[in-house]
Amino acid sequence: MEIYNPQLWWTHDLGEPTLYTLQAILSLDGTQLEQQQQEVGIRTLELDQSPDTAEPGTRFFRFVLNGVPIFVRGACWIPAHSFVGALKAERYAMLLKAAQEANMNMLRVWGGGIYEHDVFYELCNRSGILVWQDFMFACAMYPEDKRSFVDEVEAEARYQVRRLRNHPCLALWCGNNENQWIHDRTYWDKPDFAVPGSLYYNKLLPQIVKELDGKTPYWPGSPYGGNDYSMLAQAEGLKFGIEHYRRRKPHCSGTLIWQLNDCWPVLSWSIVDYYGFGKAGYFYTRRAYAAVMASFQKGNDGEH
């Protein structure tokens, strides 16, 4: 299908969330068998994870709408009423208007809630608010060894992807809420113990999204960053902070970082563990605290 000079769908902060009415009719030998009608938007949306050349070793995680990289401003959305069957369009409209007036351009439908009623997504389409859509898995260990449960998960996911895939507000499918994060914190000493539910987050759900949607990006969980080598993240943060404050001497005249040691074997901010072994942060800090240190920053004239 070719559409000439289309009006694109934008988030409300960038333009108009233009919608078209699409009507599809299925007929056989002049007899109408089925008819569907839906508001649709014309837009492109990509999840850019290309290397960030300005910060070597990192990559972007940004949405690009109609070729324009956007800064996501939003919040997590939980069910708007304890009795979800009683939710009215007016309540959805009130809350989404509040989000729009707060200059939000994306909402995350939290995986501990529900797949929202159709009217929620229709109002997001009209309001120019993108939706990060979690699958309904949250803060729990989900079984993979019961065929009946696996079948239910697959049936639910297929139904929801088919139901929501055509909304222009749909920005991303997300596997779960916090399950990988909780698992990594709880079983940090068991690297071979896979996250219960990995079958869903790493295989079943992305396959269904690819098969039935094919356009909307999929992300395994929130928070999730792959293998994040957390010690290095802490170490780089300490190095960055210490060097910054040292460069400000005498305006800043000291840093006492949290924390040196621990009172028991535990996962924490300490840079020396309970047994006396230095973590990555210890060695980065030792270098950043050297009596003489070379550190650079861009001057007001653009020079370093």
Instruction: Please tell me the chain's helix, strand, coil percentages from 3-state DSSP, rounded to the nearest 5.
Output: 30, 20, 50
Q: Would you call 178 a catalytic residue per the annotation? A: yes
| Nearest-angstrom CA–CA distance, 38 and 240 | 51
Residue with token string 């007929």: 27
| Nearest-angstrom CA–CA distance, 101 and 105 | 10
Q: What phi, psi does 166 have (nearest 5°)?
A: -95, 0
| Nearest-angstrom CA–CA distance, 74 and 107 | 5
Q: What phi, psi does 237 have (nearest 5°)?
A: -65, -45
Q: Facing residues of 62 across strands?
A: 48
| Nearest-angstrom CA–CA distance, 182 and 223 | 10
Among candidate residues 2, 178, 236, 303, the one labeled active-site is: 178
Residues noted as catalytic: 178
